[in-house]
Amino acid sequence: MLQSGVYTWLGVYLSERFGLGELGIGLALLGYGIPGFILGPVIGRVADRYGRARLIPAGVAVGAVCALVLAAPLPLLAVQRGHRHITSLVS
């Protein structure tokens, strides 16, 4: 449920907050999905070994830190520079 809400509005947020275009938003969402795809089996094994009761609070804490970073009034220079570099390569 949380991920659906993130995907729904993250593009609008990245566009308004950081001025990203369609390509930059797509790359940001791709960067959100690929680690989950790659690390899914690893996280599953960790959950099987240690239990979800230990893993879920850690995931919530990481999510909270990420939300605080996105809410901070600092520019994401890496995202902006990466977007410019990729746009120049594509054009």
Write the pLDDT tens digit of every residue in 23-79. Answer: 888 888 887 778 888 988 998 998 899 998 888 898 888 888 877 877 776 666 666
> Residues 24, 34: contact at Cβ < 8 Å?
no
The confidence score (pLDDT) of residue 48 equals: 93
The confidence score (pLDDT) of residue 72 equals: 72
The confidence score (pLDDT) of residue 79 equals: 60
Measured CA to CA in angstroms, residue 18 lies from 11, 31, 74, 75 at distances of 10, 16, 10, 7
